[in-house]
Amino acid sequence: MTKNQSYSRISVVSCTIKQLFSGTLDSIIDKGELNIPEYQRPYVWGKNELKKLVSDLKHFSENYNESSPLYYLGSIILHKQKKTLNIIDGQQRITTLALLEYFINKREYLIEYSSPKSISQIQKNHHLLKEGEIEISHLDLDLLNVTLVITNSEDDAYTFFETQNTGGKRLSGADIVKAHHLRAVKGNGAIAIKAKQWENEKITSINEVIGLLTKARYWNILNWESYPSFRQKIAIKKVIVRDFTENTFNTESPISFYQSEVLDDYYKSTSQNSSHLRAIRQPLYNGSHFIDYLTEYVGLYEELFLDDNNYRIDNRFYEFRNELINGYNGTIFLKELFQLVLICYVSKFGLKNIFEFSLWAFRCVYATRVVNRRTVREDSIEKFVREGYIIDKILGCFTHSEVISQLQSFKYNFNNENCEENRVKGRYIMSLGNYFPEFSKSMVIEKFDYKLKKAINDKL
């Protein structure tokens, strides 16, 4: 059962899994070995995905008759490169089916994998099937059908891939961004290095960091754009793909921007960067430049919010963070905003004065908790940023002392409604006593901000 419809550079082929694996499509795709490019995301399907697929296939096999259509497993996107068929989209399904074929029909297909994560997950699934933890009897894999989209152009393959997945639910925005930039890396050796850099075990927070970076770039008073609600998963995905693939640039000589300080001392001048990070809102370029930009900020995120004893960071910051910066008592959205403004600050001024900045930034950001009558809502965060320009003020200052002056001049009106100890707002105020002694004895309502500023100065 094979149909072929060819265009200028794209062939669309409907075939069975048996035909795909056995190479009986030679006349159409000119024989090629399936391959996983180095820049692809790892094979990640585990026990749950394996059980779900087997359950669906088993139900189909048991109820199949010759008049029924085959079980359709969707499209597989392939980039044909000489005698190699690079799998652009479909790795999870193809790898899983190759494992099932091995155990059910004793057919062995050679597909090379370079990612250690992929190899480890394949070994785990192999063990599950070998030990019989997933029942695979009565499955007929010859009843499976896929659509192959084959192109000689890698750009066409990824255009199709990104278009298909931008509005879909299968791949995250980070997955599409990764594929886009890894394929722009020049040289196979460099691709492998950057792929490992992306998949480094320490990089556990890519989605969170991409979200924060996008907000830092969108919430810009010069060209303001709203960021979708956390409930709008597909809209967020589109925003991330647009900002970090469609709005990035191609160049042989990408430029990185840093804040630099030049000290004039009599007859000589010395300069140094205020921060080791690229400017958070700088233009971004495809390939290695973007990957380096992202991994720098992922590293910073983990130093600031996941580590507890990084030698570059004032230990007082960790004590403050652990006591006050959390998502309890209606502050989940404030926690994220605090993380955003802290990352923006470090992107310009480094880690040297992070403790002082954090205390004054906390006063401004968390003021929303005591200005509102009730729990802080997500939409009030964007409103606060847009009306107070807090991110633009931080990124627009030249010195640390200028930033502190801006934060100290911030004014707000305390709202004394719903401050009882059994209310969310009251519990937040009481929680300040865990860190500031001035708040530990009683509910502080009168002269709240005056006492908070005094408590901050006492800590410093």
- Number of neighbouring beta carbons within 10 Å of residue 457: 11
Between 67 and 169, name the one with better pLDDT: 67
Span 126-136, average pLDDT: 87
pLDDT > 60? residue 25: no
Percentage, residues of the chain above pLDDT 70: 88
Q: Which residues make Cβ contacts (< 8 Å) with residue 387, sequence separation at least 6?
A: none
Q: At what angle do helices 233-241 and 154-166 cross, to 10 degrees?
A: 150
pLDDT > 90? residue 149: no
Span 187-197, average pLDDT: 69
pLDDT > 80? residue 399: yes
264 three-state secondary structure: strand
Q: Which of 227-231, 314-318, 408-412 shows the lowest mean pLDDT across its residues?
A: 227-231
Beta strands (DSSP E) in 17-132 are 33-35, 71-81, 84-89
Q: How far is CA 452 from the centre of its chain?
A: 35
Span 413-434, average pLDDT: 86
Pairwise CA distance, residues 393 & 378, whole Å: 21
pLDDT at 3 (0 to 100): 44
Confidence of residue 67 (pLDDT cuts 50, 70, 90): confident
Q: What is the pTM of this model?
A: 0.71
Per-residue model confidence as pLDDT tens digits over 261-302: 888 877 778 888 899 999 999 999 998 899 999 999 999 999
pLDDT at 227 (0 to 100): 93
pLDDT at 5 (0 to 100): 45
- Residue 283 tokens, joined: 């233009």
Per-residue model confidence as pLDDT tens digits over 309-366: 899 999 999 999 999 998 777 788 999 999 999 999 999 999 999 999 999 999 999 9
pLDDT > 90? residue 190: no
Q: Which residues make Cβ contacts (< 8 Å) with residue 176, sequence separation at least 6?
A: 161, 162, 165, 166, 237, 240, 241, 245
